Amino acid sequence: MRIFFWNLKNNSNAEWVVKTIQENDVDVALFAEYHGTDFKTVLTDLKGDYTRHDGKGGCDKITLLCRRSVETKVKVESTRYTLYTCIVNDVSYNIVGLHLQSNPRSDSNDRKNEIRKIVYDICVQEKKDKNRKTVVIGDFNCNPFSEEIIQKDAFNAVLFRRLIEKNEYVTYQGTRIRKFYNPILLFLSEEENIYGSFYYPSSNSAPLYWNSFDQVLVRKELANRIESMNYIKEISGRKLIKDIAIDGRISDHLPLLVSIGKGKME
Amino acid sequence: MRSLWPDLLEQKEQEKNNSISIIREQVRELQRITQGAVSAVFRRIQYQPGPADALLEFGKYTSQFSSSAFKEKIEDELAGKEDINDLFRVKKYKFELCNKNYRFRVFVLNYSTLFPISLEVDEGISEEIKYRNGEKIESNDALICVLEEIFSSKKVKRVLQNMLVESEDN
């Protein structure tokens, strides 16, 4: 499965959305801040090969396009996230698309509260369908080392695959909690110029400059099936980075593309 | 020494908290007006043991001292008696709209036996009706007012209408 996420900054980006999906052979594409983009045009220009799943109005932060062959159902909606089930090439996934609250209007604790609801809904869905091929993708508005990602009672995500392979659970205050795996460290690279997805030269005392707000987390079942993860830097010859920063005329976020293999079992 | 206890007979009677029965009545009402096409679920968020359910009670981590590591030693004369403090502990109840394939959590009720209580309403709805999440609700009438605003919000109406359309399509 080739899964894609892009925060479109509410710009009119139909042309770039179509080109990115086609160039990257995307199966499932999720978008945040998408209201400036005409998705009717997107679907027309994709020649009817893709369908849109907009839910029932419970979430206006995320929308999803997928190939016609992908069987998609909206299972749970909340303002900040939608939980879908998608069957891609005969493999069934739980996919959560999210756009968490940003600073300075919100803070880490607001995001953690939201994350606990997301994890609750994921646990319910995984138990209901007895399927833990779960992918969480989106704009987390925090970095891979942030408490929201790492903390045991938040996403409980580890940054090294061996940690989840060795033990899928962590015990916290007497309760066993299932981990997520965040593959980002495998793919951030000076050599490949993959620094992050959002450039912000903050004036505070410790600017990070490049942030990886756009991330993907997976359960153990998918941890060793991640073939690639990439922040796309160019669409049809148009560079998305100008000098060292993101060229904000299209979006202030780089698109995230993740390829997940079927694995040996299927 | 004079008695430090208040005059218990003079105490004003507190309003009985009927929030659970008020909300349950609305669950039945939705079932009636949609003729069963859309359901509402109002249920306590229960912690169920087992690894997959470790976070099923997402609110429990707000208290660092709820852990079994801090168990109180019970004296013999208190053993086997119901701890009245349990009545005052906040319990979480979720209120969700759902059909066969889909669910949408409208709010979580932070319930305690006595007022005040509070709601954690879906962010989009709370912004629309200008309800500040966690705001204290002091009476049954105040709860009814907030519920009416929530159920009449554009977002809830949109979700319900889309769920009704889906059920007609099926």
Own/partner long-range contacts of A210-214 (Cβ < 8 Å, ≥24 apart): A211/A143, A212/A143, A212/A144, A212/A184, A212/A188, A213/A139, A213/A140, A213/A141, A213/A142, A213/A143, A213/A253, A214/A5, A214/A6, A214/A7, A214/A138, A214/A139, A214/A140, A214/A253, A214/A254, A214/A255, A214/A256
> Could you read off the pLDDT of A2-41 as tens digits, one per residue?
999 999 999 999 999 999 999 999 999 999 999 999 999 9
- Report pLDDT for B9: 74
> Could you read off the pLDDT of B6-24 as tens digits, one per residue?
887 776 778 899 999 999 9
Mean predicted confidence (pLDDT) in B126-151: 96
- Report pLDDT for B142: 97
- Which residue would you say has higher pLDDT here, B48 or B167? B167
- Which residue would you say has higher pLDDT here, B68 or B26? B26
From the list B51, B53, B56, which residue is nearest A169 (CB)? B51
Q: How far is A59 from chain B (nearest CA, A)?
A: 8
A51 lies within 8 A of chain B by CB: no
> Could you read off the pLDDT of A161-200 as tens digits, one per residue?
999 999 999 999 888 999 999 999 999 988 888 899 999 9
The answer to whether the CB atoms of A174 and B124 lie below 8 A apart is: no
Residue A249, in any domain of the structure: yes
> Could you read off the pLDDT of A217-231 as tens digits, one per residue?
999 999 999 999 999
Does the pLDDT at position A265 exceed 60? no
Mean predicted confidence (pLDDT) in B117-146: 96
Does the pLDDT at position B35 exceed 50? yes
Band (pLDDT 50/70/90 cuts) for residue A264 is low
The CA radius of gyration of chain B, in Å to the nearest whole number, is 20
Q: How far is B29 from chain A (nearest CA, A)?
A: 21
- Count of domains for chain A: 1
Does the pLDDT at position B47 exceed 60? no
From the list B51, B58, B69, which residue is nearest A117 (CB)? B58
Tokens of A144: 């891979």
- Report pLDDT for B43: 94
- Report pLDDT for B46: 61
Residue A242, in any domain of the structure: yes
Q: Provide, as residue numbers in chain A, all residues whose Cβ is less than 8 Å from the Cβ of B159.
A: 56-58, 77
> Could you read off the pLDDT of A68-108 as tens digits, one per residue?
999 999 999 999 999 999 999 999 999 999 999 999 889 99
Domain locations in chain B? 16-60+84-169
Which of B58, B60, B63 should we substitute to test contact with A (largest number of A Cβ atoms within 10 Å)? Answer: B58
Does the pLDDT at position B68 exceed 70? no
Percent of chain B at pLDDT exceeding 70 = 81
Mean predicted confidence (pLDDT) in B82-90: 75
* Residues contacting B8, CB < 8 A, separation 6+: none
Own/partner long-range contacts of B56-60 (Cβ < 8 Å, ≥24 apart): B56/A120, B56/A123, B56/A124, B57/B92, B58/A116, B58/A117, B58/A119, B58/A120, B59/A116, B59/B92, B59/B108, B59/B110
Owning domain of residue A82: 2-260
- For residue A118, give the CATH number of its domain: 3.60.10.10
Mean predicted confidence (pLDDT) in A110-133: 95
Residue A266, in any domain of the structure: no
